[in-house]
Amino acid sequence: MSEFFNQYFNFNVMGEHFGDVFVAFLQNLLVFAVATALALLWGLALALLRQLPGRKLMPIRFLTITYIDVFRAVPILILILMISGGVPFLTFLPQEVRIPHWFGRPDPFWYGIAALVMVYGAFTAEVYRAGIEAVPRGQMEAARSLGMSHFQAMRHVVVPQGITKIPAPMLNELISLLKDTTLISVISLSEAVLVSREVLAERLNSSALTLTAIFFLVIILPLARVVDKLIERNQLKIARGSHIEVA
């Protein structure tokens, strides 16, 4: 048992490398913040495109649904490797796009961001769609009867109401996104898992990886409790609504 604790909970190793792992973990948080902002915007755009009305816009809806289905099915790790291993050699693209170093960040940072946004944009689009479709159709009809266009009705009436219905599932997706930032280590972005693996290779000890896991637990466990509270609150609202209808 002592060997187990020495391998995974060696506080000397944790203490020696705490600063390195913590700084690398901040890189994970930065990737998460940027990817979250972009994925939420991209997902909303996809959800709105999927809701476009009329036969003329059917091709756009079809392409949007195809995109969502494909990128929900493709593993992020494969996509990260495909982007980092292929985009630099697409000579028809400008060099600053093929090998980006925007805002002083290395190209693996942006390749990882691109993969996360492409995949989680598809997942968040489905969450948005669930919220939008939960809004009674009468809301759209009432807005159109007031002279609003489809876009105006979605912007001012339907989407604001739909967003209020999805905090819990959306937060679940963002928790998954935070955990998946570790996958970018495969393309040598100096984040927490890569740094911890380097410590493992040097010291033959996994305690740095345990330290990384602890950092994630400190962030994710409170978020998980928030999700539970949001689900509980939503269930109470549904229960109250059913009581009112019965009365």
What does the pLDDT look like over 172-208, one tens digit per residue? 999 999 999 999 999 999 999 999 999 999 999 999 9
pTM given for the model: 0.91
Q: 35-44, 130-139, 167-176 — which one is most confidently predicted on average? A: 35-44
Name the class of domain 2-246.
Answer: mainly alpha
> How high is the pLDDT of residue 149?
86
Residue among 205, 242, 141 at smallest CA distance from 11:
205
CA distances from 131 to 166, 185, 220 (A): 6, 34, 24
Confidence grade of residue 246 (pLDDT, cut at 50, 70, 90): very low
Who's near 160: CB < 8 A, 6+ residues apart?
none
Ranking 87-96, 123-132, 221-230 by mean pLDDT, the lowest is 221-230
> How high is the pLDDT of residue 243?
52
Q: Spell out the alpha helix ranges (H) of the chain.
A: 2-8, 11-50, 58-73, 76-86, 95-98, 107-133, 137-145, 150-153, 159-163, 167-180, 192-203, 207-246
Residue among 170, 171, 146, 165 at smallest CA distance from 156:
146
Between 230 and 34, where is the model more confident? 34
Confidence grade of residue 238 (pLDDT, cut at 50, 70, 90): low
Residue 59 has pLDDT above 50, yes or no: yes
**Domain boundaries defined on the chain:** 2-246
